[in-house]
Structure formats: structure tokens, C-alpha cells
Amino acid sequence: MGYRTYIGFLPKEEYNKIKSMTLKELFEYKGEDYNEEDIYENGHVGVYDLGSELYEFGKYTDFTPPENSVKQFFEKEDIKEYYSSDNDLHIVTKEFLAYIIDYYSLKVQKYQQEMLAPFFPDIIQEKYPRKNSDFLNSAKSRWIGLEDQRSFDFEKITQEEQNALYKIIEHMKQMHFDWAHNRRPYNLERGTSVCNSCKYEYAVFELVRLYKTFDWENNEMYYYGY
């Protein structure tokens, strides 16, 4: 399955109980064996055992949130060292989630612009692009029955437009995977999530939902990976 990262939560009351524990105290609190002499005799308390999962980012995350939006989950050095060797584990703030929402939004904006810019030269500068490429301007329309048929002068298409056209087709094929046959990027019966797709276009709305509905006053959100 590989290394994956998540955000989860636990009540502040619970977090305040465990944040200053030693590793031994945490294991005992969770009902696991702890042997200082032989670690192979120990039980196990995973980062996922510390709270409840809210959202899975998946395998590939390349964001770097602001330093002041994350802090160490535990206070004692022995327990920080234990979990930092193979895991991510941090308490995160509202700003952490806002940063990722903005990061995802800019990702979507950037690759949409990369696909469209060869056809609309001013799309990056203008909110509503007014310029079309020569290839787009070559479009002719005619009605056959009830269908509007379009034709283009393909002698006017540039290499950049051909590259972009390929990217658009590949992108739509990837987007279609969430909708093909009986698949859907949501589940009406299971869980509370709006969508269960990791694609940026959908995931950003799930993160917005969490940002708006999470009880920041009574719960702590944490970022973890394993």
C-alpha cells in the first residue's frame, strides 16, 4: 500500500491527557505492553490509534505548510523520537488546512491554464480571455439536423496547441475514471464526506467542508503518516 498521509482528530480533553506522556505512559494508557529492556516485547500504538481519521491525502503530497501552522504532537523527547523515525505526526491549525485548500486550488488553476493558454493567449492575464488563437478563429459552424457541427483549419494549429490538446484529452480520460460505469466520486450511504476522490478538483471541496464544519474549539486536528 505504501506510505500515506492523513488528517485526523481527537477531543482536546483527550489530547491534553496524552500530550505530555512518556512512551511508557502512553502504552500503558492505551492498554499495550511496554518493555524497556526488549522493544520486541512491546505492544503497538500507531499514529492512527491516537484519534479518528478525517481525510486521506494519499501517497503523494508535496505541500510544505507554514511552520506556525504545525507543532509536535507530543512534548517528551522519547516519544517524539519514537514516532518521528517512521511517521509524520503533528498537531495542525486552521491555517494548515487553509494553506492546503489554497495549494490545491492553485494546482488546479495552473494546469488548467497550461492546457488552455495555447488557445487563449491572454488567459493568464485576463479573468475573461478575449483573444483566440488563429486555430480557434478558423472554426466554422454549420447545422446538420439538430447538431451544430464544427470544423477547423488544421493547417493553423501550432505544436503548442497539439501538445495542449493531447493534455486535455488525457486529463478528461483521467477525470472520467471517477464516473465510468457504476463508479462515482461520492457515496450517498457511507460516511459524511462530500467526495471520496483524491483528484484535486474534488478533494478541495472535501477540505473546504472540513474547514467549515470542524469543531476547532473542542477538538484538535492532527496530520499523520505511516
User: Which DSSP string corresponds to 61-84?
Assistant: ------GGGEEES--SHHHHHHHH
Instruction: Examine residue 168 and state whether it is found in any structural domain, yes or no.
Output: no
Instruction: Examine residue 197 and state whether it is found in any structural domain, yes or no.
Output: no
Strand runs labelled E in 98-146: 140-144
**Per-residue pLDDT at 42:** 85
The Cα 45–Cα 29 span in angstroms is 10
- 10 and 96 inside one domain: yes
**Per-residue pLDDT at 35:** 84
**Per-residue pLDDT at 146:** 84
Domain count, the chain: 2
Instruction: Examine residue 17 and state whether it is found in any structural domain, yes or no.
Output: yes
Q: Residue 151 CB: number of other CB atoms within 10 A?
A: 10
**Per-residue pLDDT at 60:** 78
- 137 and 67 inside one domain: no
Instruction: Examine residue 184 and state whether it is found in any structural domain, yes or no.
Output: no
The Cα 110–Cα 184 span in angstroms is 25
pTM for the full predicted model: 0.87
**Per-residue pLDDT at 101:** 98
Report which of 215, 225, 221 is spatially closest to residue 51, judged by C-alpha positions: 221
**Per-residue pLDDT at 1:** 62
The Cα 26–Cα 21 span in angstroms is 6
The Cα 89–Cα 99 span in angstroms is 18
Q: Give the range of the structural domain holding residue 133, as residue numbers without chain letter.
A: 120-157
**Per-residue pLDDT at 119:** 97
Residue type, 179: W
**Per-residue pLDDT at 185:** 93
- 35 and 70 inside one domain: yes
The Cα 190–Cα 177 span in angstroms is 20
pLDDT tens per residue across all 226 residues of the chain: 689 999 999 999 999 999 999 999 999 999 999 888 777 678 999 999 999 999 999 887 889 999 999 999 999 999 999 998 888 999 999 999 999 999 999 999 999 999 999 999 999 888 788 899 999 999 999 988 888 999 999 999 999 999 999 999 999 999 999 999 999 999 999 888 899 888 999 999 999 999 999 999 999 999 999 9
- 9 and 95 inside one domain: yes
